[in-house]
Structures are given as structure tokens and as C-alpha cells.
């Protein structure tokens, strides 16, 4: 596996961990490591679910700003996030810290999201004069509805865990170790026979029965 991303097994749950100090920026090396790990897990019968976690101060904090100068190096954001979303078992994101921009877009490419209390979520690209470029403009409205998604994208204001739960961005909150909580949540999904819940197929109105 790559130096910054590794995969381990916790029983039937694969845990993919990003460890790229200081703030787990979604750099080319991280994207390549995610691609390598998720590709290696595909089709393995012993893997019943995957948890995407991070080590250090925060979950993926955002995109690599250096690529404004170099251009986005392969593998690109869309390729990697599609690979995560296409995983054939449930993928649960273990969220904590400051999850912004590309970090949020990675989280919503996962099928389920567990967040540690105190986590902040945002799409602050508007403050740089740009819009989310890693699928957030497409996935976020499908996940939480058009108005909340537009508010996130056009205001740039972060959401708390409570607010994220209200709009459907977060499925469950955790007080302690969020990776352990996400593994437990993944085991519950497996026990209940739940499969992937791909954001591109989501419709908030349909989920709420409207």
C-alpha cells in the first residue's frame, strides 16, 4: 500500500486510513493511495463493509491548493471518488475535525457518514471565487436537497454536527473514538443486510416519502 494510505481488517470490516500530516490534504499521493486501496478491496468476499478513516488532527481537510498552479495530477478527484462510490459493499466515512471542500466531497461519495461531536463541515470554495469541483455540486443536492446544498455552496458557512444531521449529511454522531463508532455502525449495516447507498442515486424527497 502507499505510504500515506493503508488498509487493515477489523474482522469483516476493512478500514482504509489516510495518514498525511499535518491535515490530511487530498493531495495526489492521498488520491493515489485511496485508488490503490479501494481497488485492492474490490471483489474480496471477506470484506463486508469499508470504513474510510484518517489519522491525526482531522479527516480529509480539503483539496490540494498547490494544484491551482500545477493542474490536477492523476488520479483526479472524480476518478477516485467514483471508485469509492462504486464500491460493492457499504462504505462508512469516520468524520472529525474540520472537514471542508474536497473532504466533504469525499465524505458524500461514501455511502454513510458517522461524525464525532464538534466536527465542522463546509464548502468554502466560494470564498476563493470558485465552486466545488469534485462532484459536490452534483452529489450534495441529491443528498440533502437543493436549498440546503445551495446555502452551503453559496454562503461558505460551516455546519455543526447537529445541523448536518438535520439536513441528512450525517447519519450518526459519536462522542468518543469516531473510527471505532464507524466500525460499529458498519457492522450494524452488515447485520441488517444493508448494501451500498450511492449518493448519485439519492433523492431527499423520496427518502422522506414526499
Out of 36, 74, 105, 147, which one is annotated catalytic? 105
Asked whether 183 and 51 are in contact (CB, 8 A), the reply is yes
**Distance of alpha carbon 105 from alpha carbon 137, whole angstroms:** 9
Instruction: Indicate the angle between helix axes 77-85 and 28-41, nearest 10 degrees.
Output: 30
Active-site annotation holds for 147: no
Out of 79, 125, 201, 208, which one is annotated catalytic? 125
Asked whether 79 and 34 are in contact (CB, 8 A), the reply is no
Active-site annotation holds for 105: yes
Q: Is the peptide bond before 166 cis (omega within 30 degrees of 0)?
A: no
Identify the helix (H) or strand (E) that includes residue 14. Answer: strand 13-18
Q: Which residues are catalytic?
A: 105, 125
Amino acid at each position: 500500500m502507499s505510504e500515506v494510505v493503508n488498509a487493515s481488517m477489523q474482522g469483516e470490516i476493512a478500514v482504509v486510513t489516510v495518514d498525511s500530516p499535518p491535515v490530511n490534504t487530498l493531495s495526489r499521493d492521498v488520491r493515489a493511495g485511496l485508488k490503490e486501496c479501494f481497488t485492492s478491496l474490490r471483489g474480496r468476499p471477506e470484506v463486508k463493509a469499508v470504513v474510510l478513516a484518517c489519522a491525526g488532527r482531522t479527516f480529509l481537510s480539503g483539496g490540494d491548493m498547490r494544484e491551482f498552479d500545477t493542474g490536477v495530477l492523476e488520479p483526479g478527484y472524480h476518478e477516485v471518488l467514483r471508485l469509492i462510490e462504486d464500491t460493492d459493499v457499504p462504505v462508512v466515512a469516520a468524520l472529525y475535525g474540520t472537514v471542508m471542500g474536497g473532504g466533504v466531497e469525499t465524505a458524500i461519495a461514501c455511502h454513510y457518514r458517522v461524525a464525532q461531536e464538534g466536527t465542522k463541515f463546509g464548502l468554502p470554495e466560494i470564498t476563493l471565487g470558485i465552486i466545488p469541483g469534485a462532484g459536490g455540486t452534483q452529489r450534495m443536492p441529491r443528498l440533502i436537497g437543493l436549498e440546503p446544498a445551495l446555502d452551503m455552496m453559496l454562503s461558505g458557512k460551516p455546519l455543526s454536527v447537529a445541523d448536518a444531521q438535520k439536513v441528512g449529511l450525517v447519519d450518526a454522531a459519536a462522542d468518543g473514538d469516531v473510527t471505532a463508532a464507524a466500525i460499529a455502525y458498519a457492522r450494524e449495516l452488515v447485520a441488517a443486510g444493508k448494501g451500498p447507498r450511492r449518493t448519485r442515486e439519492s433523492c431527499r424527497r423520496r427518502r422522506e416519502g414526499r
